[in-house]
Structure 1
């Protein structure tokens, strides 16, 4: 299928690793002009080299920490200067704190809210003028399957990712008149650095191997395994493409079946 990405301008916030990087590679391979954002200059340099080596296209790189108040506007200014506009915005940032509810401080709640929700709000707001003038403009947010089936001891992420569901539905309706589609991809357990690092820590603490830890966490996934980042990225890139022109306001799980609710 031709996803009609040739010369489209695609920005991926959180594009230096995991699902964001996989999405950047797919978009570049489809012929898009790709920009990636990371707070780590070292990580973004490595990611850019991978994208160019695998696709033949060198991405625009922007070093910024989206948890900082003015970062979104800095990113928008850089994109406007380089390209004069934007067609696709993908926000692939977020994380969780593994803790019981009673042990969490206000500072942890607020810090994670900034990371998971406010950074996305600020980024979308900064790019609305450009997207409104873009070609078949689309926004895709990365959420989590936990927003539909909360995990134990991850209350902060459960609450904030559920908030992204509300943001997704609200913006899809509000921005439809401007021709901007808005969707969300909710990954399940995926082999990204977030999970492999966690598995390594548990393996060290419990005297086991990474594979043993991951195997245990795979037992309640109907497909019996973790996802690969590229499997999530395929949905991201399809939803952001003109091929999904009648799809907006949807939160699509790509989770191996782990979230079993009806809605």
Structure 2
């Protein structure tokens, strides 16, 4: 199926690995021009080299999404290079494994700064260009934690809940400009971090067996972790003009872990 993304320009943050890189690869395969950012430029450029795309259709920029000026410079560079922006994927993020008791005020502020402003800075910076597109779309990569918090990820859960609420507000505010805003909520996805945890655990079992036990403990219906491509696909399809009547929606990619109604 043609997703009508050929020649479209899409920004992807946190694109040097994991879901961000998988999304960039999928977009490039669909013929989109991709503008990628991450904090580590060398790593980002190495990752960009794996895309099936003409180098002229790929822009890599070092950017800290919590720095408004850095984000604005990135968005301006995208417009200068490609002439506009059709899509934005707000993907930069991390998880803080800590209970409320063990979390400092600074760590709490950092989590909210990354989750909330990491998306808001980019959407604000890209808004004017997006409004000029005939198929503008924003996809915010979030987590099922936004609706189903965990005590060991208490602050991350709260920040992600705020981001989901923000996405809903943005979908209403930006709709008159023809800009769609949707969220993808992921569960346990192996983007390399879990492979490292397995290696560090000293467990002699194969990764699939080790991770299946964790999946069962977490109540994942499909009994396994997801992979980055399984998140990249719904992200990419939400960017497609074929989804032009979808905004303010959330898509779970969690293997059935969600227990909320």
TM tier, smaller: over 0.9
Q: What's the counterpart of residue 242 of structure 2?
A: 243
User: 1:146·1:259 contact (CA, 8 Å) conserved in 2?
Assistant: no
Unaligned runs of 5+ in 2: none
Q: What's the CA shift string for 1:85-139, capped at 9, x where partnerless?
A: 1000001111111111111111000111112221111111111011011131000
Q: What's the counterpart of residue 14 of structure 1?
A: 14
Q: What's the counterpart of residue 120 of structure 2?
A: 121
Kindly indicate whether residue 82 of structure 2 is the aligned counterpart of residue 83 of structure 1.
Answer: yes
Q: 2-side partners of 1:116 and 1:194: how far apart?
A: 19
SS, match of residue 5 in structure 2: coil
Q: 2-side partners of 1:138 and 1:251: how far apart?
A: 14
Q: What's the counterpart of residue 259 of structure 2?
A: 260
User: 2:134·2:178 contact (CA, 8 Å) conserved in 1?
Assistant: no
Q: Quote how far apart the aligned CAs of 1:215 are.
A: 2.3
User: 1:200·1:210 contact (CA, 8 Å) conserved in 2?
Assistant: no
> CA 1:40 to 1:209, structure 2 compared with 1: closer, same or farther past 3 Å?
farther
SS, match of residue 49 in structure 2: helix
Q: What's the counterpart of residue 131 of structure 2?
A: 132
Q: 1-side partners of 2:121 and 2:130: how far apart?
A: 14
User: Greater CA deviation, 191-200 or 162-171?
Assistant: 191-200
Kindly indicate whether residue 210 of structure 2 is the aligned counterpart of residue 218 of structure 1.
Answer: no
Q: What's the CA shift string for 1:53-82, capped at 9, x where partnerless?
A: xx2333211111212342211111211211
User: 1:168·1:250 contact (CA, 8 Å) conserved in 2?
Assistant: no
Q: Quote how far apart the aligned CAs of 1:208 are.
A: 4.8
Relative to the length of structure 1, the TM-score reads: 0.93
Kindly indicate whether residue 199 of structure 2 is the aligned counterpart of residue 200 of structure 1.
Answer: yes
Q: Quote how far apart the aligned CAs of 1:181 are.
A: 0.3
Q: 1-side partners of 2:73 and 2:21: how far apart?
A: 21
Q: What's the counterpart of residue 56 of structure 1?
A: 53
Unaligned runs of 5+ in 1: none
Q: 1-side partners of 2:205 and 2:136: how far apart?
A: 45
Q: What's the counterpart of residue 179 of structure 1?
A: 178
Q: 2-side partners of 1:96 and 1:13: how far apart?
A: 16
Q: 2-side partners of 1:31 and 1:2: how far apart?
A: 10
Count of equivalent residues: 256
> CA 1:195 to 1:115, structure 2 compared with 1: closer, same or farther past 3 Å?
farther
